[in-house]
Amino acid sequence: MFFFDEIHFVLFFLVHYTQEIVSHMKKIYYNLVFLLISIVTTHAQQESETSIDPMYKEIESAFELCQRNKYGEAIEISTKVLEYSIEVNDDNLRARAYNVLGNAHYFVNNDSLSFHYLFKAKDLYIKLKDTSKIILAYSNLGVNYRVY
């Protein structure tokens, strides 16, 4: 009888700890798979952002120029970015260019062009379903309406 108790204990021990080891191995396996997927996804994002980055940096520099009261330069850069965004069919970049153009024209008292560009930006942000940018577009339009 004693012999069977020992066998039972050994079998219980092996089954119990084997399940724990398998459970830990599954966790390690899933973590490694997740890590691999994350690395591949991050690398793919970096490659796509690198090809788009120069024009997004350009529109950001145009925005900064607008904030430093250099509206002519901002309009010039934004117009180039706008042409490029239409060429490559990038609605997000186009909406940003319209937004900067709308703001720059607002500050040089060209209200008709300001409204034109801001409405185009708003429409594209709605198409893109970018809620925060939609709010920004309506805010910019509100400022225009308050002045004119």
Cα–Cα distance measured from residue 84 to residue 115, given in angstroms and rounded to the nearest whole number: 22
The model's pTM is 0.65
Cα–Cα distance measured from residue 70 to residue 80, given in angstroms and rounded to the nearest whole number: 16
SS3 of the chain: helix, strand, coil, percent, to 5: 90, 0, 10
Cβ atoms of 60 and 93 within 8 Å: the answer is: no
DSSP string, 76-113: HHHHHHHHHHHHHT-HHHHHHHHHHHHHHHHHTT-HHH
Cα–Cα distance measured from residue 70 to residue 62, given in angstroms and rounded to the nearest whole number: 9
Q: What pLDDT, on a 0 to 100 scale, did the predictor assign at position 145?
A: 85
Q: What confidence tens digit (pLDDT) does each residue in 12-66 have? A: 666 666 667 666 666 665 554 454 455 655 544 544 544 556 999 999 999 999 9
Work out the angle between the directed axes of helices 131-147 and 111-128 (0-180°, nearest 10).
160
Angle subtended at Cα 83 by Cα 118 and Cα 48, rounded to the nearest 5 degrees = 100
Q: What confidence tens digit (pLDDT) does each residue in 111-147 have? A: 999 999 999 999 999 999 999 999 999 999 998 888 7
